[in-house]
Amino acid sequence: MQNTKIDRWLIDSLMDIDFYKISMLQAFYHAAEFRLVNVQWKFACRNQEGLDLTVLIPEIQRQLEHLCTLSFTDEELDYLSKMHFIKPDFIEFLRIFKLNMKFIHLHSDGENINLRFDGPLLHVSLLEIYALSIISELHTFINCGGFDLFVARERLADKIKLLKEEKDLTGLTFIDFGTRRRASKAWQEEVLGTLKSEFPNEFLGTSCVHFARKLDLPAMGTMAHEWFQSWQAVTRLADAQKAALEGWVREYRGRLGIALTDCYSMDSFMRDFNDPYFGKLYDGLRHDSGCPFEWGEKAISLYHTMEIDPLSKTLVFSDSLDFPRMIEIWKRFRGRIKVSFGIGTNLMNDVGNRPLSIVIKMVTVNGKPVAKISDEPGKSMCEDLGYLQYLASQYGIDPSIVKVSK
């Protein structure tokens, strides 16, 4: 009989989370628009074919129950408080912060997991990364029976060799974005230690706050889709993207200045961003869907239109990257604009198994649907076709091409 229980807690610190979740939570905490907002998040697996994920449910439940017993420690809060953009009042909010199982709804749906978070935005937002990390690692050890460390190390060595064969890596930098889809927490730590040693100039840091603190690496991250989606419910829909960009400026005053472009498509983003006010305050843009080469050319053109030197800005690429793709993009844009790369699954779950392509996305705010319309149709996520079509019409996208997620 398959063993569906493991002998350790997969999350034993609330710091074991992507940095952008902390920075976005602070922005939500300080924005009066979100004080009384209730949200719902939904889990989806994009490559479930042939897998019965329901065998993971009892252990997911047990791991989440343990997660809800954790608090931030004084030492962890001291670490966060040394970041000059993290505010004292938010630190005090985190001091009393705890997650709650009453906001978590988990059951089977055929051979799939039906997992939703439903509750106050400030109290459920962080659940996303913890749950994804738990599900990904349970898949590794329950569905796949673990992984061969020799194979994992060999594949990492191949990546390192490929990059070092380039000799001159001027202008190439990359970041670990793999916490949510890691094969295991222990493997993520080993990879980070190796990259820190092998690429002291090119490897910039990690999205995982726990390992940033433990391994003396910079904690890095940008805003995410939920920041843009949530504004759909608290302002005029056609103004939601501009409101999100302005709300981030209000909180961080130009710090953490990489703007995500694909909640409503790159073309609509360019229309809303085409103002030197945003162009100069934001340090750059992040790509997360669609053709990276077309997107990069559009970004460079946008900066030229605003009479901003592209070499003063950074493009962060983070869409399903591997090392050959990273090198290809870097060679296309080097010398024209600064580039950096966030690599997730290929870095932290290339161990010989089939990794899950899993996400948890916001689907309602105050009972109303919200959505993103990605530059890649398969990444869009919404449960209300009428709303999705209306959203598309507000942002200059053909409503007939959008579809709700399954």
* Strands lying side by side in the sheet with 38-45: 104-109, 112-120, 38-45, 358-365, 368-369
- Radius of gyration in angstroms for the set of CA atoms belonging to the chain, rounded to a whole number: 20
Q: Tell me which H or E stretch contains 355.
A: none
pLDDT of residue 406: 58
Coil, strand, or helix at residue 240?
A: helix
pLDDT of residue 375: 83
Token code pair at residue 377:
């149709």
> Whole-angstrom distance between the N-terminal and C-terminal Cα of the chain?
31
**CA–CA distances in Å: residue 242 to residues 75, 130, 402:** 37, 30, 22
Token code pair at residue 16:
């074991």
Whether 131 and 43 have beta carbons less than 8 Å apart is answered as: yes
* Number of residues in the chain: 406
**Residue 260 bridge partners (DSSP):** 286
pLDDT of residue 3: 62
pLDDT of residue 1: 36
Of 102, 88, 94, residue with least CA distance to 76: 94
Of 121, 4, 3, residue with least CA distance to 63: 4
Which residues are within 8 A (CB) of 208 and not within 5 positions of it... i.e. 6 or more apart? Answer: 16, 17, 18, 19, 176, 179, 188, 192, 219
- Token look-up 């990359």 returns 174
pLDDT of residue 378: 57
pLDDT of residue 128: 98
Q: What is the pLDDT of residues 38-63, one digit of tens each?
A: 999 999 998 988 899 999 999 999 99
Tell me the domains of the chain and their CATH numbers.
19-145+357-401 (3.20.140.10), 149-348 (3.20.140.10)
**CA–CA distances in Å: residue 200 to residues 174, 189, 326:** 11, 16, 18
Q: What is the pLDDT of residues 388-401, one digit of tens each?
A: 999 999 999 999 88
pTM: 0.96
Q: Which residues of the chain have pLDDT under 70?
A: 1-3, 377-380, 406
DSSP-derived letter for residue 206 is E
